[in-house]
Amino acid sequence: MAPVTTAGKEMHALVERLYPLCRSITGDGVRATLDIVGEYIPLQVREVPTGTQVLDWTVPQEWNIREAYIDDPAGNRVVDFAESSLHVLGYSVPVSATMPLAELRAHLHTLPDHPSWVPYRTSYYKPEWGFCLAQETLDALPDGEYEVRVDSTLADGHLTYAEHVVPGQVTDEVLVSCHVCHPSLANDNLAGIAVATFLARALAEQKPYYTYRFLFAPGTIGAITWLARNAERIERVKHGLVLACAGDSGRLTYKQSRRGDAEIDRVMRHVLAASERPHHVTEFTPYGYDERQFCSPGFDLGVGSLSRTPYAGYPEYHTSADNLDFVSPEAMADTLAVCREAFAVLDRNRRYVNLSPYGEPQLGRRGLYDSLGGRSDAKQAQMAMLWVLSLSEGEHSLLDVAERSGLPFGTVVAAADALCGAGLIEA
C-alpha cells in the first residue's frame, strides 16, 4: 500500500469534516456536504424539484431533521440524534408521543450480532419513523413509558447533486461518480467523496486528453436524475468509474462494466496487474452502486466500479463501526494512486497508423537507436518501437501493444512518442 502522502492526510481530514453531517437522498445535509467539497474544487450545484419525472422514477419530497431523541421513564436521554446521525431511521416522519417500551420496540433497530454497534437504516419511499441503537442499550432499557420525539420535515423541495468538469483536449468524457447520501459512514461513502475530490484536483493540474466529469449525487435516485437530465448528450461519455468504499485496509476490488470488455475494464485489469498490488476483479452484477444505473441496457455505458473491500463485504458495513478509525490516509492515498495510474493509461491509449508499413523502417538512420544509448532498458525500448510499428495499422491500441508484447505501458507510450516524432506513425 502507498505511504501516507500529503494527499492521504488531507483526504482523511476531509472525511473527518464531513463525518458528523446527516446526509440523505435529499436535504440540507447533502447541501452542506457539497458546500465543503466546493471549498476544494469548484462545483456546479443542481437542484431538481420534487415531483420531477426522471426516467421511471419521481424526485421525492425533501427530508430534513433538526432533533430526535428517546427519553426513558426517569427522563434520561437514552438515544440522541445529536450524538450520531445514524440514530434516526433515514427519512423518518415527525413524531411526538409517549408510549410503553413494548410499543416502542417495533420502531427500534439493532444489530444483535454486534451488540455495541449502531446500524444504518432508511425508509425512503414508505412513511415510517424509527431509531437505531446498540443492542446493549436496548437490553438495558427498563419497562415504562418513553417520550419519543422526531422533529423532521418531509415536504416538497429539491433533490441536490453537483458536477465538476476538468476540461480536456476533446469533448469525449470520462465520468467519475460517487454517492453523497449516506450519513456518518466513513468508508461508505465519505472516502469515495474524498478520493474523487482529490482526483479532480490532480487532473486539473494536467492537460488531460479526455474531459473528466465528476458527479457527486445521491445513490440511485441521483444517478437516475442525472441520466434523465443528460440523455441527449450521454453519447459523450466514453468511459466511467464509480468510487465507493475507498478507504479501508482491504485489497482493491474492481467490478467490471456490464459489457465486461469496455476499455475501462481492460485498463483497470492491466493497471492492477502491472502494479502487483493485491487486488480482485469481479464480473458485473446488477446490484451494488450506481454502475448499475450507468450500465442499464438503455445506456450501456462503459462504467466500472472501484472499491477496496466491496459493499457488504466487511462486518462494519452500514454500521457505526464504519467510523473515522476504519479508514486510513494510506488506503485512500493508494486508491487515489490507482485512479491516477488508470486514467494516465486511458488518456494515452490511442491507435496509430504506420506511415512506413512496407518492411521495417530504418530506425538507425533516424537516430532512434542512438537515442537509446546508455539507457538501462534500451533493449526493452527497442522492442517497444518494433511492436508499435508492427501493430500500428489503425486497429490496435497502445494497450493492445502492451498486453501482447508484455512490455510496460509507459515504455510503449515512449516508443510511440519517439516514432511520431520521427514521422513514422501518426495517431
Q: Which residues participate in the annotated binding site for Zn(2+)?
A: 182, 188, 318
Q: Are the C-beta atoms of residues 162 and 218 closer than 8 Å to each other? A: no
Alpha-carbon distance of 333 to 324, in angstroms, equals 15
> Grid coordinates standing for 427?
495517431
Residue 51, phi-psi category: left (phi > 0), alpha (psi -120 to 50), beta (remainder): left
Do residues 380 and 330 make contact, with C-beta atoms less than 8 angstroms apart? no
- 347: buried, middle or exposed (CB in 10 Å: 19+, 13-18, 0-12)? buried
Which of helix, strand or coil describes residue 401?
helix
The three grid cell numbers given for residue 54, joined into one nine-digit string: 426522471
Q: How far apart are CA 95 and CA 129, in angstroms?
A: 7
Distance (Å, whole) CA 379 – CA 74: 81
Going by C-beta distance under 8 Å and a sequence separation of 6 or more, which residues neighbour residue 421?
Answer: none
Q: Quick one: which of 246, 237, 243 has its CA closest to 178?
A: 243
Amino acid (one-letter) located at 166: V
Output phi, psi for 220, to 5 deg.
60, -75
- Binding site: which residues? 182, 188, 318
For the purposes of burial, counting CB atoms within 10 Å of the CB of 343, is it exposed (0-12), middle (13-18) or buried (19 or more)?
buried
How remote is the C-alpha of 399 from its chain's centroid?
Answer: 24
Q: What is the DSSP letter of 279?
A: E
Question: Are 388 and 421 contacting, i.e. CB atoms less than 8 angstroms apart?
Answer: no
d(CA 234, CA 302): 12
Nearest to 45 by CA among 59, 54, 56, 33: 33
Please, are residues 319 and 118 in contact by the beta-carbon 8 Å criterion?
A: yes
